[in-house]
Amino acid sequence: MAWAQPANDNYAAAIDVSSIINLCSANGAFTTLNATADQSAGSCWTNGPNYNVWFKFTATASQYIKVQVKVGGAEGSMQNPFVALWNSSLTELSCQNYQGSSTDIETDYYGLTAGQTYYISVDNHAGAGYRGTFTLCLSDVVDYNYYEGALDVTGTINGCSANAAYSTLNATADQSKGSCWTNGPNYNRWFKFTATASQYIKVQVKVGGAEGSMQNPFVALWNSSLTELNCQNYQGSSTDIETDYYGLTAGQTYYISVDNHAGAGYRGTFTLCLSDVVDYNYYEGALDVTGTINGCSANAAYSTLNATADQSKGSCWTNGPNYNRWFKFTATASQYIKVQVKVGGAEGSMQNPFVALWNSSLTELSCQNYQGSSTDIETDYYGLTAGQTYYISVDNHAGAGYRGTFTLCLSDVVDYNYYEGALDVTGTINGCSANAAYSTLNATADQSKGSCWSNGPNYNRWFKFTATASQYMKVQVKGWWSRGFNAESICCFVELLTHGVKLPELSRQ
């Protein structure tokens, strides 16, 4: 078929396509063959105008239009297509650059005036060999490119969409960016859901492999007034992200915006998952780790990645709460718990960890600040009520780069941090422990200070022995003191028992 110069080669001769709104033209109905440049290029086009042809339509009551240019196979021979949308004064409303040689493209706009005439310009990349036929489709059903056309994903709660069901390709910026996003909005898509009785939602954006080609994803959660409730920045090129919120109103509508980092090459497909089962990001969703008592979780079982601040920080923490996670346990008859947060190597990537222990009223019982970048920490408490529930909050120092995985260990065997758990060192009489066998790191104050100590108790550890027939005991503390005191100064911190003196009995009041 020999193509003459297209009838719609210029703006004044634009073909009226109002009749194909919510339809498509015949396959390959239009062409850029023999067309010439007219008016301006779309602002997002790589070049042009080159061989653009013109269309017009009358806006409907929906105030919206989506324009699709379809190429490839029976739909058209044109390659590297461009499209732009204009009002009657030829002010650009939206545009789309080519996405690939034979890849369909689209552009859309919300906010048209019903009954007014608008114009569409279709072109292709400079080069006569790219010219060819194409199919044109129009729709006035508002798309999820806009908040007003948000897709209802209530049915996805406690499940996931199909893999790579959604895409930021062809999307444009709408409304505001999430407050934690690096930039944007760029190419954000909109979803909505109705809150359930749990008052909670977790939103996961999954990418990588079959789940999606989008890179550096962003997500934000909003109420119906578009007040942000929570957000999450990208964690890596193809790393899944999530954001959640506790305190929704059952039956109310909430909105989700998904975007990716600025740069057309980051756009792509993604999978969306929702859950209304409260997560350990919140006190109300604390994970029950009673079964871990006298053991440890799997290595790196937990993570502060994607976590947000909840409740209060531990009183000894340098800052926070930042990205704290919550756990709970039921106290045993020993009335004691030791909580260890292990990091470094296989145990976890989190750095500068914090931990705090709380009762069910969230009154703090004990806490521990970080001791080093990848140093394990612990906190403990004696005096729990058997059968009662207690809470653990684990966090790390402020700074996204410190977030990561960690291992959690619990013990109800009373530690030598307390008089009741004093280590029996009878076997050490007339000898010494191994060098540096004991430490005041992670220790807390218990009972009274020695009468000759300059201050305290501060971080005291407890030991016990059975007196021998000699009725005498010399106690020596050797070496540099963990908290920075040398061997000479520590002498004043030790109660030396004099010959023939009986130790008084201690009781916990």
Burial (0-12, 13-18, 19+ Cβ within 10 Å), 88:
exposed
- SS3 at position 251: coil
Q: Across the chain, what does the average pLDDT equal?
A: 93
pLDDT band at 240 (very low <50, low <70, confident <90, very high): very high
pLDDT at 306: 93
User: How far apart are the C-alpha atoms of 36 and 44, rounded to whole Å?
Assistant: 19
Helices (H), 392-436: none
Percent of the chain with pLDDT over 90: 92
Could you tell me how far CA 403 lies from the centroid of its own chain? 10
Q: Is the pLDDT reported for residue 25 higher than 70? A: yes
pLDDT at 480: 57
CA distances, 54 to each of 51, 260, 372, 479 (Å) = 10, 32, 66, 88
Which residues have a Cβ under 8 Å from the Cβ of 496 and sit 6 or more positions away? 474, 475
- What residue ranges do the domains of the chain occupy? 11-139, 147-275, 284-411, 416-509
Burial (0-12, 13-18, 19+ Cβ within 10 Å), 197:
exposed
pLDDT at 502: 43
- In total, the chain counts a number of residues equal to 509
DSSP 8-state class, residue 487: H
DSSP 8-state class, residue 146: S
Return the higher-pLDDT residue of 508 and 133.
133
Enter the tokens of residue 30.
């239009």
Summarised one tens digit per residue, pLDDT across range 336-353 is 999 999 999 999 999 999
Which DSSP string corresponds to 303-356? E-TT----SPPPTT-SS--SS-EEEEEE--TT-EEEEEEE-SGGG----SEEEE
Q: Is the pLDDT reported for residue 482 higher than 50? A: no
Q: Is the pLDDT reported for residue 492 higher than 50? A: no
User: How far apart are the C-alpha atoms of 95 and 450, rounded to whole Å?
Assistant: 79
pLDDT at 206: 98
pLDDT at 2: 59
Handedness of CA 348, 350, 354, 356 (dihedral sign): negative
Answer whether 258's CB lies under 8 Å from 285's CB: no
Answer whether 410's CB lies under 8 Å from 293's CB: yes
pLDDT band at 75 (very low <50, low <70, confident <90, very high): very high
pLDDT band at 476 (very low <50, low <70, confident <90, very high): very high
| Secondary-structure class of domain 147-275 per CATH | mainly beta
Q: Is the pLDDT reported for residue 497 higher than 50? A: no
Instruction: Choose the weakest-confidence range: 107-116, 161-170, 408-417, 497-506.
Output: 497-506
The whole-number average pLDDT for the span 72-87 is 98
Other beta carbons less than 10 A from residue 472's beta carbon: 12
pLDDT band at 422 (very low <50, low <70, confident <90, very high): very high
pLDDT at 495: 39
Q: Is the pLDDT reported for residue 486 higher than 70? A: no
CA distances, 274 to each of 187, 260, 279, 349 (Å) = 21, 19, 12, 27
Edge to edge, the sheet with strand 389-396 lists 287-288, 325-330, 389-396, 353-358, 364-368
Fold adopted by 11-139: Jelly Rolls (2.60.120)
pLDDT at 479: 72
Helices (H), 251-406: none
User: How far apart are the C-alpha atoms of 324 and 392, rounded to whole Å?
Assistant: 10
Q: Is the pLDDT reported for residue 485 higher than 70? A: no
β-strands 241-246, 166-167: how paired? unpaired
The whole-number average pLDDT for the span 81-100 is 97
Could you tell me how far CA 171 lies from the centroid of its own chain? 23
Percent of the chain with pLDDT over 70: 94
Answer whether 99's CB lies under 8 Å from 169's CB: yes
pLDDT at 307: 95
Summarised one tens digit per residue, pLDDT across range 264-296 is 899 999 999 999 999 999 999 999 999 999 999
Same fold: 11-139 with 147-275: yes
User: How far apart are the C-alpha atoms of 84 and 87, rounded to whole Å?
Assistant: 10
Q: What is the CATH number of domain 284-411?
A: 2.60.120.380
Residues forming a β-bridge with 251: none
